[in-house]
C-alpha cells in the first residue's frame, strides 16, 4: 500500500539569531517513523518522509532547545509507539500528546501517562479526515480526565465557529494548535480570530503560537506576528511556542526552523514574556519540573472516587462563613508551587482567616486536573461550596 507523501523538512538548520533561554521548550513537534520500525497508519491521508527522534534532536541542538512536547500526528494514527520511544530515550526532556479512541482502556491510558503523556489530541481539519465522532471524543475525555490531561484541538478557523458550543462544555484545559489556523489574509477582525481571543480570556484555554508558516502568506512570515501578539496580550501565562518540525503537509514554503525561532522576540517583546512562553508555561502544563520516575514510584489512584474536583469556586458570603465557623475551623493549605495564588479568602496567611468545617484539606494538584481544587473525602457536611 502507498499513500501521498509531503515535502521533507529543511534539515539544514541554520544557527538562530535569537538565543533561547535555558530549558526552552519546543511545545509542538513530531516524530515520523522510521516507518520500517514504526509503520504509518493504513487510515492516514499521507505517509511523510521519515523524520525520527535523532533528526529532531539535531534540530533542537542547533536551535538551543532542551525540552520538547511530542504531538502524535495522524500519519501514525492511534499507534503512539514512535512518540513513546522518543520520550523514553529523552532522559526526561520530552513529554507527549497522544491520539486515542474509546477502545483504549484505563490501563492503556495509565501506561501512556507513566510514559510521559499529558494530553490527548483530536483533529478536526478537513485534509486529515475532518471532525472525529463527537460522542466518542466525549467518552475518551471522560476516561483521561482523572489523569489530569488536557485536550489539544487541531482545527481550521471555521471549526472554531462551528464547534464553539461543543468545546465550551469541557471542564478541562484546552490547547489550540497553530493559533487556530486563522489565515492572515482575512485580517485580525475575522470572526474566528476574535472568537479565539474570547476563548483565551477563559482560564482553561491555552494556545500555541506556532504554525506561522501555515497561516502567513509567505516568508519571512511576519504577517503572523500581530496574531501571536494579540493572543499573548490576552493570556501570556497560557501561551506555548513550537516549531511544528518536520512541518507535515506544507504546500509551498518549507521554513527553516531557525526562522521560526527568530520570530519569538517579535511576538514576545521582553525577556520575561519570552521566558513564560518558552520555559515557564510549558513546564507548568507538562510538569517538566517533576521527574517521570516520580509517577512510576507512586501507585495510580482512582481520583474520581477519592475526591471531588471543583473549578470556578464561588466564594460564600463572609458573614455566612463566620457563622459556620462556629462549628469549627481548619487550616487551609496551598499546594507546593501555588503559594499566594489562591483567592484571598482561601489563604491562611491573612489575619483572622477561617473556614467552616472540620479537617478540611484543599490541594491544588497539577497531575490531577490541571491545578484544580480537590477537597478530601472527609469534608464536614456543614461545608458548602
CB contact at 8 A, 48 and 5: yes
Residue 103 C-alpha cell reads as 477502545
- Give the closest residue to 10 by CA, choosing from 53, 58, 42, 47: 58
What secondary structure does DSSP assign to 12-57, as a single string? Answer: -PPPPSS-PPTT-EEEEE--B--TTTSPPPTT-S--PPPB-HHHHH
3-state SS of the chain: helix, strand, coil percent to 5?
Answer: 35, 15, 50
Residue 199 C-alpha cell reads as 476563548
CB contact at 8 A, 225 and 266: yes
The residue written with cell numbers 490531561 in the block is: 149
Helix or strand (DSSP H, E) at 140: helix 134-144
- CA dist 224 and 229 (Å) reads 9
The residue written with cell numbers 509503520 in the block is: 39
What does the DSSP 8-state code read for residue 352? T
CA atoms within 13 A on the CB side of 187: 3
- CA dist 171 and 149 (Å) reads 11
The residue written with cell numbers 523538512 in the block is: 9
- Give the closest residue to 109 by CA, choosing from 75, 142, 67, 153: 142
CB contact at 8 A, 221 and 259: yes
Instruction: Establish whether 171 is a catalytic residue.
Output: no
Catalytic residue (choose from 173, 244, 257, 259): 244
- CA dist 354 and 367 (Å) reads 28
Side by side, the strands of the sheet bearing 94-98 are 25-29, 67-71, 94-98, 117-123, 150-154, 174-176, 205-208, 239-240
Where in the sequence numbering do the catalytic residues fall?
244
Amino acid at each position: 500500500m502507498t499513500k501521498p507523501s509531503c515535502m521533507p523538512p529543511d534539515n539544514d538548520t541554520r544557527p538562530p539569531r535569537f538565543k533561547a533561554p535555558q530549558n526552552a521548550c519546543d511545545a509542538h513537534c513530531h516524530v515520523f517513523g522510521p516507518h520500517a520500525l514504526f509503520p504509518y497508519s493504513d487510515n492516514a491521508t499521507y505517509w511523510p518522509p521519515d523524520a525520527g527522534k535523532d533528526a529532531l534532536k539535531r534540530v533542537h541542538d542547533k536551535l538551543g532547545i532542551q525540552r520538547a512536547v511530542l504531538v502524535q500526528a495522524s500519519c501514525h494514527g492511534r499507534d503512539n509507539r514512535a512518540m513513546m520511544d522518543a520520550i523514553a530515550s529523552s532522559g526526561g526532556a520530552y513529554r507527549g500528546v497522544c491520539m486515542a479512541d474509546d477502545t483504549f482502556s484505563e490501563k492503556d491510558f495509565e501506561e501512556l501517562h507513566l510514559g510521559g503523556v499529558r494530553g490527548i489530541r483530536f483533529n478536526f481539519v478537513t485534509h486529515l479526515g475532518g471532525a472525529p465522532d463527537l460522542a466518542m471524543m466525549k467518552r475518551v475525555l471522560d476516561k483521561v480526565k482523572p489523569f489530569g490531561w488536557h485536550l489539544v484541538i487541531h482545527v481550521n478557523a471555521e471549526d472554531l465557529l462551528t464547534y464553539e458550543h461543543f468545546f465550551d462544555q469541557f471542564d478541562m484545559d484546552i490547547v489550540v494548535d497553530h493559533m487556530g489556523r486563522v489565515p492572515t489574509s482575512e485580517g485580525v477582525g475575522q470572526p474566528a480570530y476574535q472568537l479565539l481571543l474570547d476563548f483565551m480570556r477563559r482560564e482553561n484555554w491555552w494556545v500555541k503560537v506556532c504554525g506561522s508558516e501555515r497561516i502567513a502568506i509567505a516568508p519571512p512570515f511576519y504577517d503572523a506576528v500581530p496574531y501571536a501578539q494579540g493572543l499573548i496580550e490576552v493570556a501570556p501565562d497560557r501561551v506555548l511556542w513550537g516549531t511544528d518540525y518536520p512541518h507535515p503537509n506544507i504546500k509551498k514554503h518549507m521554513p527553516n526552523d531557525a526562522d521560526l525561532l527568530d520570530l519569538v522576540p517579535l511576538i514576545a517583546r521582553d525577556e520575561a514574556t519570552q521566558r513564560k512562553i518558552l520555559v515557564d508555561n510549558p513546564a507548568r502544563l507538562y510538569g517538566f519540573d517533576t521527574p517521570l520516575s516520580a509517577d512510576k514510584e507512586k501507585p495510580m489512584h482512582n481520583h474520581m472516587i477519592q475526591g471531588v474536583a471543583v473549578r470556578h469556586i464561588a466564594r460564600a458570603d463572609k458573614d455566612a462563613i463566620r457563622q459556620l465557623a462556629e462549628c469549627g475551623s481548619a487550616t487551609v493549605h496551598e499546594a507546593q508551587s501555588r503559594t499566594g495564588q489562591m483567592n484571598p479568602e482561601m489563604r491562611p496567611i491573612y489575619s483572622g482567616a477561617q473556614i467552616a468545617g472540620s479537617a478540611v484539606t484543599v490541594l491544588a494538584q497539577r497531575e490531577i486536573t490541571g491545578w484544580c481544587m480537590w477537597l478530601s473525602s472527609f469534608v464536614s457536611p456543614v461545608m458548602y461550596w
